A and B are shown apart, each in its own frame.
Chain A
Amino acid sequence: MKRIQNYAPEGFIALDNSALIYPPTEAVFNANTFRVSMDFSFSIKKAILEQALHDLLYRCSYAKIRLHTGFFWYYLSPNDADPIVHKEGSYPSGRFAFKENNGYLFKVLYSEHRIALECFHALTDGSGAMAYLKLLIERYCHHAGMPQVEFSGGLNYRVRPAKQEFSDPFQHLYDKQIPSYPAISKAYHRKGNGPFDDRVKVISATIATDQIKKRAKQRSLTIGEYLSTVYLYSLQRLQLEEVPNQKQRKPIRLSVPMNLRRIFGYDTMRNFTLFAVVGIEPALGFYEFDEIATEVHLQMAQAQSKKRLLSQIKRNVSGERNPFIRFAPTALKNPLFKLLSDFLGDDQYSGVITNLGYVALPPQLESQVVRCDFHLSPGLLNKISLAVIGYLDRIVVNFNSFYATDTSLERLFCTFLVEDGIQVEIATNREDTR
Chain B
Amino acid sequence: MAYCVRCGVKLSSGTKTCPLCGTEVQLPPGMEETSSDPLFAKELPPEGTHGITKARKGLIELIIALFAVSEITVGLSLFFSDALAYGFIPLFCIAMATVSLVSIVLAKPRYVHHASWQSLIVALLLLGLDGADFVWSWSLIAVGGIVIFWMYGVFPWSRWAKKHVKGGIALSVLSTVFYLALINLVVSGALTWFLPVAVPTLLALLLGTLLFFLWFSNRKGNRIPIADIVLGSMVVLFSSSAVFDGSLARYQTGAISLRWASSLLVTALVILLFMVAVSLSLRLRRYFTSHNRHD
Contact = CB atoms under 8 A, between A and B. Distances in A.
B17 A432 contact: yes
Contacts of B46: 89-91, 94, 199
A333 to B, nearest CB: 9
Contacts of A113: 37
Contacts of B53: 27-30, 380
B49 A198 contact: yes
Interface residues of A, number: 51
Interface stretch (B61-69, B111-119, B131-139, B205-213): B61-69
A429 B168 CA distance: 48
A426 B49 contact: no
B7 A88 contact: no
A54 interface: no
Contacts of A95: 49, 51
Contact of A90 (B4, B9, B20, B40): B40
A433 B61 contact: no
A332 interface: yes
A111 B17 CA distance: 25
Interface stretch (A76-84, A280-288, A334-342, A384-392): A334-342
A346 to B, nearest CB: 9
A410 interface: yes
A426 B52 contact: no
Most chain A CB atoms below 10 A, which of B17, B37, B52:
B37
B93 to A, nearest CB: 21
Contacts of B17: 432-433
Nearest to B44: A89
Contacts of A30: 53-54
B10 A428 contact: no
B236 interface: no
Contacts of A202: 39-40
A337 B37 CA distance: 42
Given A29-B53, A411-B21, A426-B10, A434 B15 contact: yes
Nearest to B47: A199
Contact of A426 (B12, B44, B65): B12
A331 B12 contact: no
Nearest to B7: A415
Interface string A402-413: 000001001100
A interface SS class: mixed
Interface string B138-156: 0000000000000000000
A76 to B, nearest CB: 21
A197 interface: yes
Interface string A50-94: 000000000000000000000000000000000000011111101
B128 interface: no
Interface in B7-28: 7-12, 14-21
Contacts of B64: 331
A425 interface: yes
B44 A28 contact: no
A427 B58 contact: no
A378 to B, nearest CB: 12
B254 interface: no
A156 interface: no
A193 to B, nearest CB: 13
A94 B38 CA distance: 19
A199 B48 contact: yes
B73 interface: no
Contacts of A112: 37, 41
B57 interface: yes
B50 A428 contact: no
Given A380-B53, A407-B19, A426-B11, A338 B38 contact: no
A434 B14 contact: yes
Contacts of A425: 9-12
A427 B53 CA distance: 29
A418 interface: yes
B266 interface: no
B45 interface: yes
Contacts of B44: 87-90
Contacts of A28: 49-54
A89 B46 CA distance: 7
Contacts of A332: 65, 69
B62 A433 contact: no
Interface in A360-394: 379-380
B85 interface: no
B58 A334 contact: yes
Nearest to B11: A426
A90 B52 CA distance: 22
Nearest to B14: A434
B35 interface: yes
Nearest to A37: B40
B269 interface: no
A411 B20 contact: yes
B59 to A, nearest CB: 7
A6 to B, nearest CB: 35
B55 interface: yes
Contacts of B41: 87-90, 111-112
B220 interface: no
Contacts of B164: none
Contacts of A380: 53-55
Contact of B19 (A25, A89, A331, A428): A428
B61 A335 contact: yes
Given A28-B52, A198-B48, A430 B19 contact: yes
B42 interface: yes
B51 A428 contact: no
11 contacts: A331-B65, A335-B61, A338-B61, A407-B20, A418-B9, A426-B18, A426-B19, A427-B39, A428-B39, A429-B39, A433-B18
Given A380-B54, A411-B20, 13 more contacts: A27-B53, A89-B40, A89-B41, A90-B44, A113-B37, A202-B40, A205-B9, A335-B65, A410-B20, A415-B8, A419-B8, A427-B12, A433-B18
Interface of B: 4, 7-12, 14-21, 35-42, 44-46, 48-55, 57-59, 61-62, 64-65, 68-69
Interface of A: 25, 27-30, 87-92, 94-95, 111-113, 197-199, 202-205, 329, 331-332, 334-335, 338-339, 342, 379-380, 407, 410-411, 414-415, 418-419, 423-430, 432-434
Closest 4 CB pairs of A and B: A197-B48, A338-B58, A335-B62, A27-B54
